[in-house]
Amino acid sequence: MSFLSILFVSLIICVFFFLCINAQEEAQNNSNNSTLFKVGVVLDLDSLVGRIGMTSLSLALSDYYSVDRNYTAKIALHVRDSNGQVIDAADSALSLLKDEEVDTIIGPQKSAQSTFVIGLGDRANVPIISFSATSPSLHPHTPYFVQATIIDSAQVGAIVDIVKYFHWSQVVIINEESDYGNGINPYLSNALHDANARVSHRTVIPPTATDDFMLQELYKMKTMQTRVFVVHISSSLASKFFPKVKEAGMMGEGYAWIVTSGLMDLLYSLDSDVIESMEGVIGVKPLIPRSKRLGSTAKRWKKKFIHDNPNFLQAEFGLYGIWAYDALWALAMAAERVQFMEQTSSLQNTSFLNSTNRFTTSISKKGPKLQEAVSDVSFQGLGGKFHLVNGQLKSSSFQILNVVGKGEREVGIWTRSERILGEIQVNNTSFSSIELKSIIFPGDTTVVPKGWEVPVSGKKLKVGVPIAAGFTEFVRVEKDPQTNVSKVSGCYIDMFDAVMAELPYAVPYEYIPFGTLDDPSSGSYDELCYQVLRFKIHFVLFLTILFVSFVYKYDAAVGDFTITSKRSNFVDFTLPFVAGGITMTLPDETDKSDPWFFLKLFRRDLWFTTMALFIFIGLVVWILEHRFNNAYRGPRAQHTGMIFYFPFMSLVFAQRERIVSNLARFVVVVWMFVVLVLNSTYTAYLSARLTVENLKPDVAYMKKGDNVGCRKGSFICDFLQEEFGFDKSRIMTYNSARDIDEALGKGSISALFSVKPYTDLFLSKYPNKYNVAGTTYPTEGFAYVFEKGSPLVADVSRAVIKLTDNGRLFEIKQQWIKEVDNEQKSKESFELAASLEDFKALYGISGGVASTCLLVFIATYLYKNRDFVQRISSSSTTFWSKARAIGKHFDQRDPKTFYSSKYREDGVNVSTSINENIRSSTVVPISTMDFNDANGGTSPNSEHTAAPNLQTGSTDHIEIVIEA
């Protein structure tokens, strides 16, 4: 090497040492000029998470100040060990606040330790920043607590979507009995409920649970139907729990297990035999985006962790390490902002230090500004974008993981914009569909568990069947006399067999009759539904716990069960397999071949009353018009004809005779209104009788005293009382169709109320005797009954829909029951006639007006002819002679109206015509006639020269012949 080369290398070395010295002096000057921020750290230093956190905090601190050499704020860590105890964590935090006067505290590690520490920080105005306490219930109404972690409730959406993706309808929640384990429960339960997935059971396991306790709980869950379990426990408890799950035989085919992020992140830390027992488990974990910075930091972190913790060789820079790293980085940035904004004095208010209260601490002046600065910090950290929302780290996407072999593999990614449910619509927002990769389920199978199984304690489903007497086409229970075994058959039994055969899996079941064959009416349908309900009662007597279990007798019930709100409170119904609706059945009294049907539109009492009123009105009008109107005079036969002619012709408004009397006009006006109403009513009834859509009665048609019938044990008995207002004493119940037919035939009941399937069956037995009338009152149809929360309900309902669509259920019905066209029968004529009750007010008014006018006319007649009436009444003749004399007098035309009416009808002036005729006459022969004498008798051969009184049709008359 030449001299010049040696000189050049020496010069470079001198420059390098000069720069290092300057940098060291500059860093020392910055350190001397920077503001010190004391940061307390409370962690369980003997735990894996605590050691991971400490390594991340120290690495983040050195990385931050190596990047930013111009810092003006310096963070100093003061570490305390909480020893995994709540009291030690609180004591450590109190020591940091009082002795070290820290500006902020990172920790504590567990959710259970955080509650008391949060209260201390709130009192001292010191921010409490946790990177590992994930319980959502920890966030109180204080700004001084910051969860720099993804809280547990953020993963609920991913878990629920997994349940929906595989169409599981029920889950069992297993959580640790701690603040960490209980915090997720309300969020998970509500989310599952919103997704129509039921939490059938919840099991709480203490952190110190023994093996016997865990096995006891597992065997209890094994006897249940649900086979989907969501587990939210710590890694330490999981290391004991999952081996017991495998020991209990619950990690095999047909089971599904989902674990939360806290366990999945520390899965690597579990023993190999524990991981092996978790084969097939599905887990969720927040997604950490990969980057070069994360990779290089993870390598340096690994070296540092091994250096600091030589006994913990198995550790990864997982979620807690990344969150701790980003939390300290955010705190350092916040401290720099506080120092830049204002040189804050490190002195604190010590006015409370002399207080006797042990928990009284000084109040920090830096704390509020530091808390505000931390909340506003936003940067791209190792775990993604670091951004706090209401004191909590904003949730990110989640990985869907599957435990396979000795590790985990990713099968999908869940985000709020891309769900794993296929194409769905939520609040008018479309979500893209993401299909999960093939998942290995427990039992080393890719077959998706259906989510439930028949319990181990029950070999077959016990299906209760009601013993229905009289309507055996639906359900028939017969006992074999030789084997004494009950045989169940019927239309609805065949339908249920077809539905169960349509399920994608085999479900063994057996029929068990409900009631006794000796008394078919024993046991109501409600009682059978109650026996599907499971009861458990616990009695505590002194120190002894007595457990009394009323084991349910049936798992399901099949038959003609109508869905009602009362029953749905105790059991679950499938979708209806037969349509419902309450109908009213009445005897068919219509005789379509009767040629006199038009007379039956009015009832007999109405016809007789109408005829009587017709005659009465005709008689009244004749009396009122006889003395004044030529149209109502003439021979006796003409009088009788006019009495019947006028009222009947008024039906079609065809009468041509003029009415001259005001009283008669008044009677006719009222009568015309009656005729109009009567004519319109008859026309309406006749139209309804002759058209296709006829008048049909409804419940109002039933008279107040009529009895009605329904089937014994049916819910219709209560329906008639509550909805229609029938008295209980008027509701008759029957067991068989024959009894109902006999009751309707004898008139014991006026109508039968039944559900539409029963109506169809009854009419098929008696097709020509009865028909459906009135309105069909909507109700739910017949459905299958299962115990509350049974997972079979959804699958059976889908099978019912499928068999209904392809017509299979209809074919089964046709095999048992003859189809009756009830719509056509309801359109047939029903004998509904108008009664006198409908017209009594109108007829009363018309008759009253006519009678009043008649009385007024008679009174006026008697008053004007009082002298004549008095002479007749005072004579010594017989009563009939007096009556005949008055009749003859009434029969005479009224003299005052003769000429005016006569010549007014001919259109000639009365006085002028008479005078001209008299002057032109030369001979006026007067015929001799009988005249009434003063005493009312007759005087033959008398001559009168008085004014002529021409009486047409009278036996006493004078003829005046005027000859020109």
Pairing between β-strand 785-787 and β-strand 571-573 as defined by DSSP bridges: antiparallel
pLDDT at 418 over 90: no
Closest listed residue to residue 525, CA positions, set 473, 552, 562, 551: 562
- The residue behind tokens 């495998």 is 246
* Digit-coded pLDDT (tens) for 674-700: 888 888 888 887 777 666 444 445 565
Please give the mean pLDDT across all residues of the chain. Answer: 77
pLDDT band, very low/low/confident/very high, at 832 (cuts 50, 70, 90): low
Quote the CA–CA distance of 598 and 210 in Å, as a whole number: 91
- With a CB cutoff of 8 Å and minimum separation 6, the contacts of 602 are 610, 682, 685, 833, 834
Quote the CA–CA distance of 106 and 327 in Å, as a whole number: 9
* Digit-coded pLDDT (tens) for 861-870: 888 888 787 8
240 is written with which tokens?
A: 């004991």
* Digit-coded pLDDT (tens) for 737-791: 888 888 888 888 888 888 888 888 888 888 778 878 777 888 888 999 998 878 7
CB atoms within 10 A of CB 501: 11
> With left for phi above 0 and alpha for psi between -120 and 50, is residue 523 left, alpha or beta?
left
Q: How far is CA 791 from the centre of its chain?
A: 20
Give the per-residue pLDDT at 653: 58
Instruction: Provide mean pLDDT across the span 831-846.
Output: 78
Is this model's pTM higher than 0.85 or not?
A: no
887 is written with which tokens?
A: 């009749």
Closest listed residue to residue 348, CA positions, set 32, 38, 105, 31: 38
188 is written with which tokens?
A: 């998970």
Quote the CA–CA distance of 435 and 843 in Å, as a whole number: 81
- The residue behind tokens 């109700």 is 779
Mean pLDDT check: name the lowest of 39-43, 456-460, 584-588, 834-838: 456-460
Instruction: Provide mean pLDDT across the span 28-42.
Output: 72
Are 782 and 790 spatial neighbours (Cβ–Cβ below 8 Å)? Answer: no
pLDDT higher for 81 or 702?
81
Closest listed residue to residue 772, CA positions, set 722, 820, 739, 805: 820
CB atoms within 10 A of CB 819: 10
pLDDT higher for 815 or 5?
815
| Angle (nearest 5°) at CA 145 between 142 and 146 | 130
Tally of residues, the chain? 964
Are 277 and 242 spatial neighbours (Cβ–Cβ below 8 Å)? Answer: yes
Give the per-residue pLDDT at 610: 84
Quote the CA–CA distance of 346 and 348 in Å, as a whole number: 6
- Any idea of the CA torsion for 869, 873, 879, 884, to the nearest 10 degrees? -20
Quote the CA–CA distance of 514 and 467 in Å, as a whole number: 6
pLDDT band, very low/low/confident/very high, at 278 (cuts 50, 70, 90): very high
Instruction: Provide mean pLDDT across the span 186-192.
Output: 92
Instruction: Provide mean pLDDT across the span 15-28.
Output: 50
Give the per-residue pLDDT at 622: 79
Are 626 and 889 spatial neighbours (Cβ–Cβ below 8 Å)? Answer: no
587 is written with which tokens?
A: 């005897």
H helices of 836-909, in order, are 840-864, 866-874, 879-891, 895-906
Could you tell me what percent of the chain has a pLDDT over 90? 26
Strand partners, 960: 926
Q: Residue 550 class from Cβ within 10 Å (0-12 exposed, 13-18 middle, 19+ buried)?
A: exposed
Quote the CA–CA distance of 223 and 248 in Å, as a whole number: 11
539 is written with which tokens?
A: 């009695």
pLDDT higher for 779 or 805?
805
* Digit-coded pLDDT (tens) for 528-569: 888 886 543 333 333 333 333 334 578 899 988 888 888 888
| Angle (nearest 5°) at CA 323 between 319 and 327 | 175
Say if residue 108 is preceded by a cis peptide, omega within 30 of 0.
yes
Closest listed residue to residue 326, CA positions, set 398, 284, 374: 374
Quote the CA–CA distance of 200 and 224 in Å, as a whole number: 9
* Digit-coded pLDDT (tens) for 451-507: 887 654 446 788 988 886 567 888 888 887 777 778 888 899 999 999 998 887 778
Quote the CA–CA distance of 666 and 621 in Å, as a whole number: 10
Quote the CA–CA distance of 643 and 623 in Å, as a whole number: 9
E-state strands within 95-222: 104-106, 128-130, 145-147, 170-176, 198-205
305 is written with which tokens?
A: 């962790």
- With a CB cutoff of 8 Å and minimum separation 6, the contacts of 718 are none
pLDDT band, very low/low/confident/very high, at 657 (cuts 50, 70, 90): low
912 is written with which tokens?
A: 């002028």
pLDDT at 275 over 70: yes
* Digit-coded pLDDT (tens) for 129-169: 999 999 888 876 678 899 999 999 999 999 999 999 998 98
pLDDT higher for 864 or 945?
864
- What are the Cα distances from residue 938, in Å, to 303, 885, 956? 158, 11, 9
Mean pLDDT check: name the lowest of 426-440, 541-555, 581-595, 868-882: 541-555
Mean pLDDT check: name the lowest of 236-245, 556-565, 803-812, 865-874: 865-874
- What are the Cα distances from residue 747, in Å, to 733, 742, 744, 769, 835? 14, 8, 5, 13, 20
Are 134 and 111 spatial neighbours (Cβ–Cβ below 8 Å)? Answer: yes
Quote the CA–CA distance of 653 and 640 in Å, as a whole number: 20
Instruction: Provide mean pLDDT across the span 871-900.
Output: 72
Give the per-residue pLDDT at 365: 83
Stretch (H or E) spanning 797: helix 792-805
Could you give the 3-state DSSP secondary structure of residue 1?
Answer: coil
Closest listed residue to residue 317, CA positions, set 298, 303, 300, 296: 298
Pairing between β-strand 535-541 and β-strand 544-550 as defined by DSSP bridges: antiparallel
Quote the CA–CA distance of 720 and 699 in Å, as a whole number: 10
Amino acid at position 771, single letter? N
Stretch (H or E) spanning 339: helix 319-341
Mean pLDDT check: name the lowest of 6-15, 326-335, 340-349, 597-606: 340-349
Are 474 and 560 spatial neighbours (Cβ–Cβ below 8 Å)? Answer: yes
pLDDT higher for 296 or 357?
296
pLDDT band, very low/low/confident/very high, at 923 (cuts 50, 70, 90): very low
Could you give the 3-state DSSP secondary structure of residue 646?
Answer: helix
| Angle (nearest 5°) at CA 396 between 395 and 402 | 120
